[in-house]
Chains A and B, each alone.
Chain A
Amino acid sequence: MPEILDRFKDPAVARMLAEKLRKLDGETVSIMEVCGTHTMAIFRYGIRSLLPESIRLVSGPGCPVCVTPVSFIDAALQLCRSKDVIITTFGDLMKVPGTGSTLTDEKRNGADVRIVYSPLDALDIAAGEPAKKVVFLSVGFETTAPVCALAVLRAKELGLHNFCLLSANKTMPQAMKVIAGDEKSNIDGFLYPGHVCAIIGTSLAEEIAREYGVPGVVTGFEPLDVLHGIISLTELIRRKENTVLNEYKRVVREEGNPTALNRLYEVFEPCDAVWRGFGAIPASGLAVRAKYSEFDAWKVFGLHEEAGREPEGCMCPMVLTGRVTPDKCRLFGKQCTPESPVGACMVSSEGTCAAYYRYGDRK
C-alpha cells in the first residue's frame, strides 16, 4: 500500500499539475473542500501558494471534532466525574473546551480518561475492567461510524455489558444540502472527501449536482489527487457542467461500501443533530437503535444534551460554514492557539483554524 501511495506523490507529475493549476486563470470560482483531511493536505503540500487569483478555496464543515457541539463535551465531562466510569476517546477531543473545563483538565484532576486509536481498543479495556463502565466518545462521519457500530456488535457478541457509546456521530448528506442551498456561502463546486465517499458512494454528490446545480469532484488526499481534483473541478465550474467526477476510483465505488453501511445501520438510526455553526439539522446524526440501547450511553446514564454556551467572541460557527476565514476572528492566534484553544476549529488537528495557524495562510 505505501508504494501505491508514493506514486501519488510523484514530484515530477506534481510540478506538471501545479504548473497547469497556476495557469488556470479565468472566471473567479469558489471551491469548498468539504473535509478537514483535504484542508490539511492543501496546507501541507503548499497548494494554496500555487493557486491563481481566480481560484478561491473555502474550508468546509468536514472535521468531526469541530462540528461537535459544546453540549456533547459537557455530557462527556459530566460522565467522567463519576468514579466507576472510564472515558475512552480519540485524542482530538481531549482539549476541546466544554463549559468551564476540558477532558484534559478532568484527567489532571483524577478522572480516568484514556486515548484510544479505535473503538475496538475500548472493548479490550472494558474486558479488562469488569467493575467499571467504559464509555467511548463516538464522534465522526460515515468513515468512523461503521467501526463504532462494529464495536457495539462485538460487545454484544462477547457479552460485554460494561461498554457503551456516547454517540455524536454525524452523516454528511443533510449538512451538504444545507450548504449547497445557502445563498450566502456562494460555493461554486465541492471537493468531496474520498474516505466518506468510499462508504456512502457517489449518489450524494450526484444529487447535489442535479438538484442544487453545484458540481463536484470526489478525490483522495495525496498531492496529485488534490491538485488534479482542483483542476478538474475548476474546469467543470467554468464549463457550467453540473456533474460529478469520481477521481478516486482506486478507492471509491459508485455504490460505496454496502457491508460497512449495513453494519452502520444495523446499530444506528438517523436522528436530528446539532452541528456547531449550523444548529440543528434534521436526520443528520446517528443514534443507537433501541434494540442496542444497553450500549447507548445517553440512555444508560440518562443523559440529556443541554444547550451549551459557545465561547464568547469565537467565530467557529462562521468558519465552519465557509463564511469567513479564520484570520478574520479576533481571537485567532491571540487568545486562541493550538496550545490553548478557545474554539473547536483550533483544537482538532484537522480543524480549519489549526491548519491556518500551523501552516500560515500564504494566499
Chain B
Amino acid sequence: MNEFITLAHGSGGKPMHELVGSLFKKYLANDLLLEGDDSARLTVQSGRLAFSTDSYVISPIFFRGGNIGKLSVCGTVNDLSTSGAAPLYLSCGFIIEEGFRVSELEEIVASMAATAAECGAKVVTGDTKVVPKGAADKLFINTSGIGIIPSDIEISGKNARPGDKVIISGTLGDHGCAVLLDREKLGIKSDIQSDCAPLSGMVRQLIDGAGSVHVLRDPTRGGLATTLNEIAQQSGVTIRLNEAALPVRLDTQGICGMLGLDPLYLANEGKMVCIVGKESADSALSILRNHKYGRDAEIIGEITDLPGNKVYLETITGGSRILDMLQIDQLPRIC
C-alpha cells in the first residue's frame, strides 16, 4: 500500500476499497461490519437506547497518553456511560487530509480497535473522506455510539438532590495539561499523561455496587467547574465544593501556576463526576478506588438546597467563592 493517503483513497473506487480492506477491516472487523452493507442491521433487546455523537479535532493527534483514535472511542463510550448505558455499537467517520501517513492512520485505527474491545463495543459502520491538502488539519474523526440502558437505571444531570455527595474519579486537568505540553513544546519536563480512558467498565461496577447513583457526567471541555455548573442548573441545586479535597497532581498545579491556567477548567478525558446519595458515598468511593481508572477518586463536595443554582468553592483558607462556568476557552482544540 502507499505510504501516504491520496485523494484517490476517498474516491469510492478501488484504492478506497484497498484501504478499507487492508486497514480498517484488519483492525475493526466483526460480524456486523463484515456484512459489508451500507447500513449495519442491529438486533437489540427491548428497553431504552442511549445514543451519542462527538467529533474529534484535537491537535496534536498523537499526545502523551493517547491519540485521536483512542480519544474518539473513549469520548463516545464515556458519554454513553453517563446515562448508565453499556456501549454496544459504534460508528466512525474519518476526514483525512491528503498526504497523511498511512502508518500513522494504522496506529490510530489499531488503538481505536483496542479501546473498543476493552469496553466490549463493536464498530459496525464507518466512512472515509479525503480532502485536499489544507482543507483539514491532518485528521478529524467523528464517532457515534449506541448503548442499552438497563431498565431500572435512571441517571441524569437533573437528578442531583440536596444532601448528595459529589465524587470525582481521579486527578483533574491531566488531559488538558498533557496536550498543552505536547502542542506548545514549552520545554517543561513532566511525566504527566493524558487520562484518556474508556470508563464504561468502572461505571458498570459503580452502578451495580453503590446503589443510589443519581448523576454521572464526564468533565471534558470546560473542566470540572463547567460540568458542575451544568448539573447545578439542570437539577436546580447549589453545589458546595471543598478545595482541599480536589485531587490535582503536583505537576499539573505547577504548570497551571506558571501559565496562569486553572486545573478546574482543564479538560479531562478519563474522569467521571459521580453524584450519589449520601448513604452510598463511601461504598461508591471504595468501588471507584478499586478500579484502575478510579484509584485517585475523592469525595469533593455536596449538593445543597441553597438558592441560586450555583457552584461555591470553599477554599483552603476557609473562605468561599463562586466557581463559574468557563468563560473563554483556555486551550482550543483539546479534543
Interface stretch (choices A3-11, A66-74, A182-190, A324-332): A3-11
Q: Which residues of B contact A227 (CB under 8 A)?
A: 317
Say whether B314 contacts A338, CB under 8 Å: no
Nearest CB of chain A from residue B255's CB, rounded to whole Å: 9
Nearest CB of chain B from residue A278's CB, rounded to whole Å: 24
A-facing residues in B230-264 (Cβ within 8 Å): 244, 250-251, 253-254, 257, 259-260, 262
Given contacts A117-B184, A338-B327, A339-B328, contact A50 B318 (CB under 8 A): yes
Residue of B nearest to A6 (CB): B250
Asked if B283 CB lies within 8 Å of chain A CBs, one says no
Q: Which residues of A contact B259 (CB under 8 A)?
A: 117
Residue of B nearest to A49 (CB): B319
Say whether B260 contacts A350, CB under 8 Å: yes
Asked if A45 CB lies within 8 Å of chain B CBs, one says yes
Asked if A283 CB lies within 8 Å of chain B CBs, one says no
Say whether A44 contacts B316, CB under 8 Å: no
Say whether B316 contacts A5, CB under 8 Å: no
Say whether B250 contacts A2, CB under 8 Å: yes
Residue of A nearest to B328 (CB): A338
Given contacts A2-B250, A5-B253, A117-B184, contact A45 B260 (CB under 8 A): no
Q: Which residues of B contact A47 (CB under 8 A)?
A: 315, 317, 319
- A199-218 vs B, Cβ < 8 Å mask (1 yes, 0 no): 00000000000000000000
Nearest CB of chain A from residue B178's CB, rounded to whole Å: 16
Nearest CB of chain A from residue B301's CB, rounded to whole Å: 14
B-facing residues in A333-363 (Cβ within 8 Å): 337-339, 349-350, 357-360, 362
Nearest CB of chain A from residue B316's CB, rounded to whole Å: 4
Q: Which residues of B contact A6 (CB under 8 A)?
A: 250, 253
Determine the main DSSP class of A at the interface with B.
helix
Asked if B42 CB lies within 8 Å of chain A CBs, one says no
- A35-53 vs B, Cβ < 8 Å mask (1 yes, 0 no): 0000000011111111000
Q: Which residues of B contact A233 (CB under 8 A)?
A: none
Residue of B nearest to A227 (CB): B317
Given contacts A117-B186, A349-B260, contact A360 B321 (CB under 8 A): yes
Cα–Cα distance between A362 and B310 once the two chains are bound (Å): 14
Which residue in A3, A49, A223 is a CB contact (below 8 Å) of B316? A223
Say whether A358 contacts B324, CB under 8 Å: yes
Asked if A24 CB lies within 8 Å of chain B CBs, one says no
Residue of A nearest to B321 (CB): A46
Say whether B327 contacts A45, CB under 8 Å: no
Q: Indicate the member of B257, B318, B322 with the most A CB atoms within 10 Å.
A: B318
- A1-44 vs B, Cβ < 8 Å mask (1 yes, 0 no): 11101100111001101110000000000000000000000011
Say whether B321 contacts A15, CB under 8 Å: no
Residue of A nearest to B324 (CB): A358
Asked if B320 CB lies within 8 Å of chain A CBs, one says yes
Q: Which residues of B contact A223 (CB under 8 A)?
A: 315-317
Cα–Cα distance between A117 and B185 once the two chains are bound (Å): 10
Interface size on B, residues (CB 8 A): 24
Residue of A nearest to B259 (CB): A117
- B289-320 vs A, Cβ < 8 Å mask (1 yes, 0 no): 00000000000000000000000011111111
Which residue in A5, A46, A95, A349 is a CB contact (below 8 Å) of B315? A46
Q: Which residues of B contact A1 (CB under 8 A)?
A: 254
Cα–Cα distance between A362 and B262 once the two chains are bound (Å): 20
Say whether A45 contacts B315, CB under 8 Å: yes
Say whether B328 contacts A17, CB under 8 Å: no
Nearest CB of chain A from residue B240's CB, rounded to whole Å: 12
Residue of B nearest to A118 (CB): B186
Cα–Cα distance between A168 and B327 once the two chains are bound (Å): 28
Residue of B nearest to A21 (CB): B317
Say whether B251 contacts A2, CB under 8 Å: yes
Q: Which residues of B contact A360 (CB under 8 A)?
A: 321-322, 324
Q: Which residues of A contact B320 (CB under 8 A)?
A: 46, 49, 362
Q: Which residues of B contact A45 (CB under 8 A)?
A: 315-317, 319, 321
Say whether A339 contacts B319, CB under 8 Å: no
Q: Which residues of B contact A46 (CB under 8 A)?
A: 313-315, 317-321
Residue of A nearest to B244 (CB): A11
B-facing residues in A112-134 (Cβ within 8 Å): 117
Say whether B257 contacts A43, CB under 8 Å: no
Nearest CB of chain A from residue B63's CB, rounded to whole Å: 18
Q: Which residues of B contact A362 (CB under 8 A)?
A: 320-322
Q: Which residues of B contact A49 (CB under 8 A)?
A: 319-321
Say whether A48 contacts B319, CB under 8 Å: yes
Q: Which residues of B contact A358 (CB under 8 A)?
A: 324, 327
Residue of A nearest to B315 (CB): A46
Nearest CB of chain A from residue B157's CB, rounded to whole Å: 23
Nearest CB of chain B from residue A350's CB, rounded to whole Å: 7
Say whether B327 contacts A5, CB under 8 Å: no
Say whether B250 contacts A3, CB under 8 Å: yes
Given contacts A2-B251, A11-B244, A339-B328, contact A50 B317 (CB under 8 A): yes
Nearest CB of chain A from residue B176's CB, rounded to whole Å: 15
Cα–Cα distance between A41 and B313 once the two chains are bound (Å): 14
Which residue in B251, B253, B316, B324 is a CB contact (below 8 Å) of A11? B316
Cα–Cα distance between A290 and B251 once the two chains are bound (Å): 42
Q: Which residues of B contact A117 (CB under 8 A)?
A: 184, 186, 259
Nearest CB of chain A from residue B61's CB, rounded to whole Å: 20
Say whether B322 contacts A359, CB under 8 Å: yes
Cα–Cα distance between A17 and B318 once the two chains are bound (Å): 10
Residue of A nearest to B249 (CB): A2
Ordered by A's residue number, 5 sampled pairs between the chains whose C-beta atoms are within 8 Å are A46-B314, A48-B319, A338-B328, A359-B324, A362-B322
User: Which B residues are closer than 8 A to A by beta carbons?
Assistant: 184, 186, 244, 250-251, 253-254, 257, 259-260, 262, 313-322, 324, 327-328
* Closest 5 pairs between A and B when the two form their complex, measured CB to CB: A46-B319, A2-B250, A46-B315, A2-B254, A46-B321
User: Which A residues are closer than 8 A to B by beta carbons?
Assistant: 1-3, 5-6, 9-11, 14-15, 17-19, 43-50, 95, 117, 223, 227, 337-339, 349-350, 357-360, 362
Given contacts A46-B313, A360-B324, 11 further A-B contacts (CB under 8 A): A10-B316, A15-B318, A43-B321, A44-B262, A49-B321, A95-B328, A227-B317, A338-B327, A350-B260, A358-B327, A360-B322
